[in-house]
A = this chain, B = another copy of it.
Amino acid sequence: MIIVLRPEAPPEAAERLLTRIADAGLKPLHMPGAERVVLGALGDERVLAELALDGDPDVESVKPILAPYKLVSRELQAHDTIVRVGGVPFGGSAFQVVAGPCAVETRDQLRATAEAVKAAGASALRAGAYKPRTSPYGFNGHGPAALDLLRETGDALGLPVITEVMDTADVERVAERADALQIGTRNMQNFSLLRAAGRAGRPVVLKRGMSAKIEELLLAAEYLMASGNDQVILCERGIRTFEPATRNTLDLNAIPYIKLKTHLPVIVDPSHGTGIRELVTPMSLAAAACGADGLLIEVHENPPAAWSDGAQSLYPEQFAALMESLRAVARAVGRTLP
C-alpha cells in the first residue's frame, strides 16, 4: 500500500502511522517528498485492510501497489534512483561505461586492458575472478588472487571495480575487495545468493536471467531490496531465443519498458548480448539511444589470446572508437559521457 499524507499533516503523523504499520507486523516505509509525505506498507493485504488507514485524519489517500514487485516499483518511488559505485553515479544524466576483460588472466593482461579502457573514458573496471562455466573442465577463474589483482589495479588507476560473485560463501570476501557485486545470468534466481548480496553493503549489478521475463528480473531485484539493499543496477544481457546467428538476442525493448516500471538504473551488456565483436559497437549505440544508463563491455588487450570470450571482446582501439561514437549518440539523447 502507498499511503499519501495530507499536505497539512503534522510531522509526527508519519511517525505515528509508521508505528501502527510496524505494530501490525507489516514492513513500514518512509518516503518524504518535496511536496507530500508518502508512506508504504508491505505485507499481508488483509492485515493492511484491517488497519483502515484511509480513515485516518492525516491520510489523504491509500492506494495498492499493483505490481507484484513493490520496493522496486515506480508506483512506490516515482523519481530515478542513483546508485553510486565507488563514487561513480549510475542512473542520472551521465552515461557510464564499465569495461574490461572477461576474466582476470594475469596482472599484466589486467593492467594493460584497464589502462586502455581508462584512457578511452571508461568509468569503471569489470573482470571475472570467479567464472561460471558450462563445463566442469573449463577455466573457472583465479578466485581470491584475482580479487586482489582487481583491487590493486582499480586503486592504481582510480577505477571502481565490479566483479561477479557466484557463491554465498564468497559474498563477504568479494564485498571486501570490489566496489560492486555482480550477480550473473545463471544466478538471477539463486535466491540464497540474492539474500546474501542484499545484506553485503555493496551495490549490486543484477543481470537478467537468459530466459527470465522482465517481471522476474524485477522480482529478483525486489529480493535484493527486501534484504535491505537499495543500491541495485539492472543489466540486460540478451535472452535465449530460436535465433542461432547471435549468441543471445539482446532485448533492447526491455530498456524503455524497465524504465517505465522501476526507478532503478539499467545498463546493457552488448558483448554477451550479441557474442560477435562486429555487433558490439552498433548495439552499444542503440542501447544509449533507447535510454540505457550505461554499458558493460568486454575489452581485451589481445582478444585472439583471451582465455574466454575472445570472439566478443573488443580490441582497445575499437573500444576507443566506440567511446567517440557513444559521445555523439549520448549527446543526441540528452545524456553525457563523463
Which A residues are closer than 8 A to B by beta carbons? 42-43, 68-70, 132-137, 140, 166-169, 186-187, 189-193, 210-211, 213-216, 219, 222-223, 226-227, 239-246, 249-257, 260, 273-274, 276, 278-279, 282-283, 285-291, 325, 328-329, 331-333
Question: Are A242 and B242 neighbours in the complex by a CB distance under 8 Å?
Answer: yes
Question: Are B213 and A191 neighbours in the complex by a CB distance under 8 Å?
Answer: no
Question: Are A256 and B278 neighbours in the complex by a CB distance under 8 Å?
Answer: yes
Question: Are B257 and A279 neighbours in the complex by a CB distance under 8 Å?
Answer: yes
3 nearest CB pairs, A to B: A211-B211, A289-B289, A286-B290
* Interface-centre pick from A189, A219, A239, A288 (highest chain B CB count, 10 A): A189
The 8 Å CB contact of A214, one of B193, B211, B245, is B245
Question: Are B239 and A256 neighbours in the complex by a CB distance under 8 Å?
Answer: no
Complex Cα–Cα for A184 and B169 (A): 20
Chain B nearest Cβ from A17, distance in angstroms: 21
The 8 Å CB contact of A243, one of B133, B214, B250, B252, is B214
Residues in B whose Cβ lies below 8 Å from that of A166: 190-192
Complex Cα–Cα for A289 and B132 (A): 32
Question: Are B253 and A213 neighbours in the complex by a CB distance under 8 Å?
Answer: no
